[in-house]
Amino acid sequence: MNMKLAPHEAIEAREFISQEMLGIKKISASMNMVTDSELKSYMQDCIASKKTALKNIQATLQSQQ
């Protein structure tokens, strides 16, 4: 099935991707300042979660083409 995103859906997808990428960059940038091992572990989990979300949206968008 070849379905295309509506213009507003494409904009929302781009916004989501931008937000996830910005979140990854911000968390990664602050990792060096963190000394607490639990917080660092949580931050690493957050980064992994955001990367997974990006991969999922990428796979979904590729299947739409």
As given in the structure block, the two tokens for residue 21 are 């990428």
Measured CA to CA, the distance from residue 57 to residue 46 in angstroms comes to 17
Measured CA to CA, the distance from residue 53 to residue 49 in angstroms comes to 6
Q: Which residue has the higher pLDDT, 5 or 49?
A: 49
pLDDT score for 54: 94
Residue owning tokens 């300042």? 33
For residue range 6-19, list pLDDT tens digits in order.
Answer: 889 889 989 999 99
For residue range 16-44, list pLDDT tens digits in order.
Answer: 999 999 999 999 999 999 999 999 999 99
- Distance separating the N- and C-terminal Cα atoms of the chain: 9
